Structure 1
Amino acid sequence: MKKILFLALLLSGFIGISQTTVNGKVVDQNNEPIPGANVVIVGKAIGTTADFDGLFNLETSEVPPFQLKITSVGYSEATENVTENNQTFTVVLNEAQTFLDEVVISASRTPERIFESPVSVERFGLKEIKNTSSASFYSGLENLKGVDINKASLTFQSLNTRGFATFANTRFLQLIDGMDNSAPGLNFVLGNLVGMNELEVQSVEILPGASSALYGAGAFNGLLYMNSKNPFDFQGISTYLRGGVTSQEAAGSNQYYDIGIRAAHAFSDKFAVKANFSILKGEDWHAVDRGDFDNPTFTRADPSYDGLNVYGDEVGIVLNFDTPLNLAPGTLGSAFVSRTGYDESDLTTYDAESVKFDGSIHYRPFANDFEIVYNGRVGRGNTIYPGANRYAITNFIMQQHKLEFRNDNFFLRGYITTENSGDSYDTRFAAINVNRAWKGDVQWFTEYTGAYIGSRLGNTALPGITTRLDDTAAHAYARQAADSGRLVPGTPGFESAFNQVISDGDLATGAKFIDNTKLRHVDANYNFTHLTKDIAEIQVGGSFREYVLNSGGTIFTDFDKPITYGEYGAYLQVQKKLVDDRLKLTGSVRYDKNEFFDGFFSPRLSAVFTAGEKRNQNFRASIQRGFRNPTTQDLFIGLDAGAAILVGSAPNNLDRDVRTFDISAEGQALTGLQTSTIVGRAAYEGGYSLSSVLAGAPTAADVPIVKPEEITAYELGYRAQFGKVAIDLSAYYNAYTDFLSIQRVLVPLYGEVGDGGLSLLALQNGDRKVYQAYTNSPADIGAYGGTLGIDAKIFGNFDIGANYTYAEIDFNQAAFPDFQTQFNTPRHKVKASFGNTELFKNFGFNVNYRWSDDYEWQSTFQNGPIPSFSVLDAQLNYSVPSIKSVFKLGGSNLLGEEYFTAVGTGLIGSMYYLSWTINN
């Protein structure tokens, strides 16, 4: 009996630890393997992933019968019933008829098909990443309808929707796995410079237009949401190697490379890890426009020349050549003279670089859908950022660290973002202060004045002067004399002075950009649908954020200690389906509070109605309010940018910016003072409007303190599927109030605005300073437009698509001459694509074409027209299943017509590349 019991216990033990094994292959309707397909036991967090050949092997302690769900992005899901051990399946997934079948999360914070989304949404998934003809997945996003990408650099591309954006795009939110990817001190995203490795991207979703009701202040004009691959679902090691050539007339042909690797492994159904690394290096687009943008006829021979991509020549004064010798007024006259500048190419190496690393630990303590995730991201890069000046962003580092608890119904996450400006510097101030390190402004202008007067009067004591020179020749002689011994780029003297300047954070003597700002963020969401599905789908959530500004007084007025402030918000969303599930109503409301401003409610109402016998058409409408808080710079900046002194308008910032300026000889005679001290508050309460001074009728500028900007967004849309044809149409109107803006004012160094005397003499004598104030425009501003997209399959398996975008601003510029909207968007855009993922066995191709209408660019760097342009990209790809590889040969801007998307940037040339992707 004891032996029988022992054998029974032993047998039961073996049964308890026995494994069920399931094998199979996942293929499409053409019997081609589908790599990366997910195979999961229904109702369990247990599964595996198909390899490059579509093969999978699943070992589990689950005892049959149970059911498998097999899914892959771009395909309809399938299920298989496992009834016994060692079963083998061939699973056929049918390709989704159109992109409207694909699932997005961002539109309602819950999974839903694009077809059912209550607002416009664009999706870029694994299939699109594989087939993009652009050199990177991020660049490929500009082929989506309604999406613009402004290109400042090879590594800095600023994405935007529905207008109103410079490169400092503070109206558009970019999230990576729920983390705001904006640099907290800069307040905007540096493209994908410190973003995501493309091997790690599962999908990218873009919501054009306001999304404040769910995502708060940052999602004012649009949202980009990047989702990464979970290591439980996507395992193994994958790599890509991409190399090629950039071609630009100014820079010539230069090599670039882009390499990435991803490794992920699930050690059990409870524990998984992943890590990603990528590096891109190349030669940036050279900016070499030496024309004087404000005076197109000027050359470097003109005394007041100020070249667009020439810096240091912004320093200039009016020289009166009669005063030194007490000549009768008008004898020699006067002229505005600027110092000799340096080309941008003298001040930066144009080394573009992006190095990214991230790693995650995923833990499922109960082997179900509850998951604990730690994610750390570090990015370092070199790029060029056009702001008020052109900034050489060098060895810039940004880190993000996140801890998240989540399951299918909730998440709770907290993360911290820190930035370190590294060796970044302002190229304009680098030129200005290299000049001053060699020879001070007073000495240079004094020498220029003496040489000009002497050459005009024929002073033979001057070298080379034997007779009187005319005005043009005298100016040329004076500049040559004042520049004698000037530091020449490439010489040891120049390099020594340059390196000293770019390591100095005081803009009076240096150019270094110092920023170690950080933010802390916590947000949570709970979806009650599993409890309330018979009533409605209900979600609640909230967030808290704290900024810690730390620039050592070089950008912000944090000269004594870091500046800290916070904001918080909460939201509620209810969805309900009616009329046999044909009508879906969604209502959302969010409340946000920044410590400097009153609280704000952001409601959204939307309706989607599905029509047609086959439920293949829907109509959608939505209305929502949104808001945008002033940025950290709007509130706390205190920076002399050369062209203007920037002063933020937080209530406790107005008196923190204190500066002392020299007064001219004429002003000293009037006041008896040699210097004047100006407090930042004067930008708001003690200046003249710039336009009134230029018009010859100085008027006091009353600049209100900044407050949040508001938007009311209306949208109508239509989507339909007719067989293999998908149509997506949308139209919108955005009405803005309290539009965040800047206003430049002239602050006199003596007298008081409105005194009718002394302050006007200060303007006349040049004893005034340009200040830039941050405020809200009283103007009524609107924007409207629409998109139309058609995608289809033709001739069997060919993909073809075309889309059109219209965008227009509704604003009376004549009524508000001082205000720049910075709409920066073409009125018309057309995009088209044509390709085939399987033209013949293992071979595919894709072609993308884009045309952009001309438009007007406005920014703090320079305004000007952007000519229309056309761009053609194309790629050929070849799969080699035996080595789990895909080879791609492609190029962007194959037409070779160089173009630019912003004034002052380098012309964008062509790129040609060859890539090898393994096991992805």
Structure 2
Amino acid sequence: MKTILHFLLLLFCGISFAQTTISGSVVDDNSQPIPGANILILGTSTGVVTDFDGNFTLTYAQNPPFTVQASSVGFESTSIEVTQNNQKLNFVLKEGTTLDEVVISASRTPERVFESPVTVERFGLKEIKNTASADFYDGLENLKGVDVNTNSLTFKSVNTRGFATFANNRFMQLVDGMDNSTPALNFPIGNLVGMTETDVLSVELLPGASSALYGANAFNGILFMRSKNPFDHQGISGSVKKGITSQEAAGDNDYIDVNFRAAYKFTEHFAAKINFGYLQGTDWAATSEVDKIDATRTRANLNYDGINVYGDEVSANIRSEAPESIKGIMPDVEVSRTGYNERDLTDYNAESIKADWGLYLRPWANDFEIQYVGKVGTGSTIYQGTNRYYIDNFFQQQHKLEFKNDNFFLRGYVVADKAGDSYDMVFTGININRAWKSDEDWFKQYIETYAGATLGGATEAQAHAAARAQAESGRYLPGTPEYQAAFNRSINDPNLATGSKFQDASKYYHADANYNFGHLMDWAEIQVGGSYRRYSLNSFGTIYTDTDGSIDYSEFGIYTQMQKTIEFNDDLSLKITGSARYDKSEFFNGFVSPRLSLGLTLNEDHNIRASVQTGFRNPTTQDLFIGLDAGRAILVGSAPDNLDRYERTFSLSPEGQALTQQQSITQTGRVAYENSYTASSVMALAETGNPAVLEVSNPDIIKPEQVTSAEVGYRGKFNSVVVDFSAYYNKYQDFISQEVVISPFYGTVGDGSASVAAIANDDYQAYSTYTNSPADVNSYGASVGISTKVFGGFDLSGSYTYAKLDFDRQQFPDFTTNFNTPEHKFKASFGHTNLFKNFGFNIAYRFSDDYYWEATFGNGLVPEFHVVDAQINYKVPKIKSAFKLGATNLLGDEYFTAFGTGNIGSMYYVSWTINNL
């Protein structure tokens, strides 16, 4: 026993002796502390990060000598050899360039931006702290080549290289590897249920097609957001931002944004974190009363349809609706019901509440890690799709389990949502009107009053005025108890014939894996991986054709990549990257997406890159399974088993009843694809009266879209000037788009008789179909960014982006590309992180050329705009705090980025951030 005790005592002493403690600080070349710098024992995974004052303490279970490295984003790394216990290490890091930053998204492996095989944009901790935008997500709009379209205060859509709508299913958004697109809508809704700013480690953005590594939805670009690991970033941090939003239509309103983060490493084996974020403000009010179809028309027009006026979408031809006895005195004109302004259908409350938590386990105290992450988010915002929707108390949750180390990851997660109290504002306006008076009764009163006034000697204008006054008699007015009761009934009723409630409880399950064999071989780096996703759509028949239960389907993909660097001499090298991915949806044939890129490094300051790749995207859940009456048209997805699931019964006109001997007819969604005319030819018939102008449509059912993309680029440094240039050309095949068609209630299109009579009798229905265009669609563009330091330390940067669509609109008048991108964009920023001790500032400027916006809600010109954002900040190291005073749209010139949205005003704020490294 004594021998054993002596042995254990010696062993304990040996273990105690083999402990080395080091401490020190990390500062920049201006002697300012660098918080959040990484301190790492070279050759190991042991390390810490510096605190707010740039200090650190590290204990390592080995005796000296060993080497310690200090690094931080935006600075050049440096190392010091440790030769004794309790040694003090004082690191001075020189500021580097953006070319030295490390990214992982371009090739799924860490590499310098300088050597990336494709274009990549990075938004790190330095940029987040210095952004003049209201938060980090808004700050993305200052990146080169990036468009951020503002749907509302809390819902912004990021896009690159064109083809943008708010339903941006061409662009993927990943948070710690998880897709955060909503299952119901199949696209991300900005950062409404995304990340809190205090937990953001970095943001990377890949513009253009990336299907070769990331699959079907990585068609137009990917946004990667990475959070802070609690093993590396501990402590409690938070921020409070308080200010006002100012808009001519909505006035001045309070704005608050609060973020909180707590993380703790309990042992070398276990760490945990929790985040919470709350934002509340007043949305940008949309108040346009301009007519959607003809901007010269006013509310006095008979068939007025205001952009932000809802309920006036319901219209009828009063001659067609009139009884035979008075049909001869009725004019052949369309008359619409009177609608309600959007501001009477929503309170414009913008709110976001989100929380996430994570448990992190390192069983062997090395790089192998097991993560469980949960995320929940709820909020209120406005979404513009086919109609305008108030997304109220929307709820989304994600749960992930991941196993990973430096060479592999295996993760699985589920994403589920609930629509909460969301509703369609267009149908709310329509059904408040109908709750007061049915469409049949309203038009009957209008027609009878018009006829009586005309027979009494009134002019046509007088007769219309009298008819509308009589039909409108007793109409529910905003603010009255009758109006409020009808409003409440509508937003709680999911039947669009009588209500406007948006219901959904959809989800999807996703798994993906990747293994990097680079550590097992020297001659090349090879990766393999794959993914699987299963959708479960459940909108209770309000969006999809799922009245009988959920719609379930799946897709999968596998990929591989090889990277090889050939060294010609100490300076000249060539990096070759080749990858290919195979994807398969259960509805379509499999598709292979290859990519080949070459990166030629001329020396440490100059790199030239070129790549060719193909990409594809599967039709979305809405493309396949939607079945939604949007008012002006019925949206019907074109999955083969969806065409017969959508069914609707229509009443026939008196002429149609006489012709068919039926009072009504039932159609399925199949008629849109198998018995329809083009919308433009039906309009031509109305103008000319010549049936010969009718063109059969009968669009094909949808299939995957493909793109071939070629890109060249250059990254380099000329003394202190950094240049990043890229140019691309995209050629699309089977371009996915919606096409509005007209289906007659009787007759066969092209028969020259019955179907023409149906059109003449207004016995038809407009459908919005999902199909592939035969049109040749190409796009091309270029961007260049330049950054440098001037006047002894001021940061100056600027970028220019050119984007162009190549498409023959005259040949395909019914086809819309939704390119929605300015031809010219210019951005610039000027600032200093340390103008004098602890004080910095930044000014950002953005210019956008005018462009034409087209989407299912409406089309129109977006005028050019100039925006200036600015901020000043001051650090108080004693209380580990930073204060910022900022303003967005400082010039106060209101603008908008999409047709139909509210004008974007100004925001003024002050923020206090504490202990956020």
TM-score of the superposed pair, with normalisation by structure 1: 0.97
Unaligned runs of 5+ in 2: 686-692
Aligned counterparts of 1:17 and 1:363: Cα–Cα separation in 2 = 25
Q: Which amino acid aligns with 2:664?
A: T
Q: 1:574·1:586 contact (CA, 8 Å) conserved in 2? A: yes
- Spell out the pairing of 1:387-406 with structure 2 (5 A cutoff): 387-406=385-404
Match of 2:91 in 1: 91
Aligned counterparts of 1:605 and 1:573: Cα–Cα separation in 2 = 10
Aligned counterparts of 1:122 and 1:220: Cα–Cα separation in 2 = 17
Deviates further, 295-304 or 242-251? 295-304
Q: How far does residue 496 in structure 1 lie from its aligned partner after superposition?
A: 1.2
Structure 2 counterpart of 1:582, from 573, 576, 589: 573
Match of 2:278 in 1: 279
Say if 2:534 is the partner of 1:543. Answer: no
Say if 2:674 is the partner of 1:688. Answer: no
Q: 1:604·1:625 contact (CA, 8 Å) conserved in 2? A: yes
Say if 2:587 is the partner of 1:596. Answer: yes
Say if 2:45 is the partner of 1:49. Answer: no
Q: Which runs of 4+ in 1 moved over 6 A?
A: 2-5
Match of 2:178 in 1: 179
- Spell out the pairing of 1:186-265 with structure 2 (5 A cutoff): 186-265=185-264
Match of 2:375 in 1: 377
Q: Which amino acid aligns with 2:253?
A: N
Match of 1:606 in 2: 597
Match of 2:782 in 1: 786
Aligned counterparts of 2:320 and 2:217: Cα–Cα separation in 1 = 54
Distance 1:815 1:332, change over 3 A: closer
- Spell out the pairing of 1:658-669 with structure 2 (5 A cutoff): 658-669=647-658
Q: Deviations over 1:175-202 (max 9, x none)?
A: 1111111112201110111111111111
Say if 2:814 is the partner of 1:818. Answer: yes
- Spell out the pairing of 1:652-801 with structure 2 (5 A cutoff): 652-696=641-685, 697-801=693-797
Q: Which amino acid aligns with 1:83?
A: T
Structure 2 counterpart of 1:571, from 530, 537, 559: 559
Q: 2:318·2:330 contact (CA, 8 Å) conserved in 1? A: no
Q: How far does residue 281 in structure 1 lie from its aligned partner after superposition?
A: 0.4
Q: How far does residue 10 in structure 1 lie from its aligned partner after superposition?
A: 2.6
Aligned counterparts of 2:811 and 2:41: Cα–Cα separation in 1 = 65
Q: 2:320·2:761 contact (CA, 8 Å) conserved in 1? A: no
Aligned counterparts of 2:63 and 2:438: Cα–Cα separation in 1 = 85
Aligned counterparts of 1:554 and 1:325: Cα–Cα separation in 2 = 38
Aligned counterparts of 1:250 and 1:304: Cα–Cα separation in 2 = 26
TM-score of the superposed pair, with normalisation by structure 2: 0.97
Match of 1:427 in 2: 425
Question: What is the aligned residue count?
Answer: 905
Match of 2:23 in 1: 23
Aligned counterparts of 1:8 and 1:674: Cα–Cα separation in 2 = 100
Match of 2:841 in 1: 845
Q: 1:167·1:385 contact (CA, 8 Å) conserved in 2? A: yes
Match of 1:462 in 2: none
Match of 1:531 in 2: 520
Q: How far does residue 325 in structure 1 lie from its aligned partner after superposition?
A: 7.7
Distance 1:310 1:56, change over 3 A: same
Distance 1:426 1:321, change over 3 A: closer
Q: How far does residue 324 in structure 1 lie from its aligned partner after superposition?
A: 4.3
Q: How far does residue 364 in structure 1 lie from its aligned partner after superposition?
A: 0.3
Structure 1 counterpart of 2:640, from 637, 651, 655: 651
- Spell out the pairing of 1:368-517 with structure 2 (5 A cutoff): 368-458=366-456, 468-517=457-506
3-state SS of 1:839 partner: strand
Q: Deviations over 1:62-93 (max 9, x none)?
A: 33333322222212222232332222211112
Q: 2:672·2:698 contact (CA, 8 Å) conserved in 1? A: no
Q: How far does residue 880 in structure 1 lie from its aligned partner after superposition?
A: 0.5
Q: How far does residue 9 in structure 1 lie from its aligned partner after superposition?
A: 4.4
Aligned counterparts of 1:402 and 1:543: Cα–Cα separation in 2 = 14
Match of 2:689 in 1: none
3-state SS of 1:817 partner: coil
Q: Deviations over 1:298-323 (max 9, x none)?
A: 22222211111000001010112995
Match of 1:465 in 2: none
Distance 1:321 1:87, change over 3 A: closer
3-state SS of 2:364 partner: coil
Aligned counterparts of 1:481 and 1:675: Cα–Cα separation in 2 = 29
Distance 1:701 1:5, change over 3 A: closer
Q: Which amino acid aligns with 1:602?
A: S
Unaligned runs of 5+ in 1: 459-467
Aligned counterparts of 1:674 and 1:4: Cα–Cα separation in 2 = 104
Q: Which amino acid aligns with 2:338?
A: T
Q: Which amino acid aligns with 2:655?
A: E
3-state SS of 1:448 partner: helix
Say if 2:313 is the partner of 1:314. Answer: yes
3-state SS of 2:318 partner: strand
Aligned counterparts of 2:128 and 2:677: Cα–Cα separation in 1 = 53
3-state SS of 1:497 partner: helix
Q: How far does residue 328 in structure 1 lie from its aligned partner after superposition?
A: 7.7
Aligned counterparts of 1:44 and 1:718: Cα–Cα separation in 2 = 34
Match of 1:107 in 2: 106
Q: Which amino acid aligns with 2:734?
A: D
Match of 2:830 in 1: 834
Structure 1 counterpart of 2:891, from 889, 895, 907: 895
**Percent identity (aligned):** 60
Q: 1:321·1:449 contact (CA, 8 Å) conserved in 2? A: no
3-state SS of 1:14 partner: helix
Match of 1:463 in 2: none
Aligned counterparts of 2:696 and 2:209: Cα–Cα separation in 1 = 36
Q: How far does residue 60 in structure 1 lie from its aligned partner after superposition?
A: 3.8
Deviates further, 715-724 or 445-454? 445-454
Match of 1:876 in 2: 872
Q: Which amino acid aligns with 1:176?
A: V
Superposed CA RMSD: 1.5
Q: How far does residue 358 in structure 1 lie from its aligned partner after superposition?
A: 0.6
3-state SS of 2:810 partner: helix
Aligned counterparts of 2:619 and 2:253: Cα–Cα separation in 1 = 41
Q: How far does residue 582 in structure 1 lie from its aligned partner after superposition?
A: 1.0
Q: 1:26·1:54 contact (CA, 8 Å) conserved in 2? A: yes
Q: 1:884·1:919 contact (CA, 8 Å) conserved in 2? A: yes
Distance 1:552 1:327, change over 3 A: closer
Structure 1 counterpart of 2:609, from 620, 624, 649: 620
Q: 1:45·1:269 contact (CA, 8 Å) conserved in 2? A: no
Q: How far does residue 435 in structure 1 lie from its aligned partner after superposition?
A: 0.8
Aligned counterparts of 1:228 and 1:421: Cα–Cα separation in 2 = 27
Match of 1:807 in 2: 803
Q: 1:321·1:453 contact (CA, 8 Å) conserved in 2? A: no
Distance 1:9 1:705, change over 3 A: closer
Q: Deviations over 1:676-710 (max 9, x none)?
A: 11011111001111112122211221211100000
Q: 1:260·1:279 contact (CA, 8 Å) conserved in 2? A: yes
Say if 2:360 is the partner of 1:362. Answer: yes
Aligned counterparts of 1:595 and 1:63: Cα–Cα separation in 2 = 59
Match of 2:690 in 1: none
Q: Deviations over 1:220-264 (max 9, x none)?
A: 011111111111111101100001111111001111000000111
Q: 2:322·2:330 contact (CA, 8 Å) conserved in 1? A: no
Aligned counterparts of 2:237 and 2:827: Cα–Cα separation in 1 = 32
3-state SS of 1:436 partner: helix
Structure 2 counterpart of 1:349, from 335, 347, 350: 347
3-state SS of 1:567 partner: strand
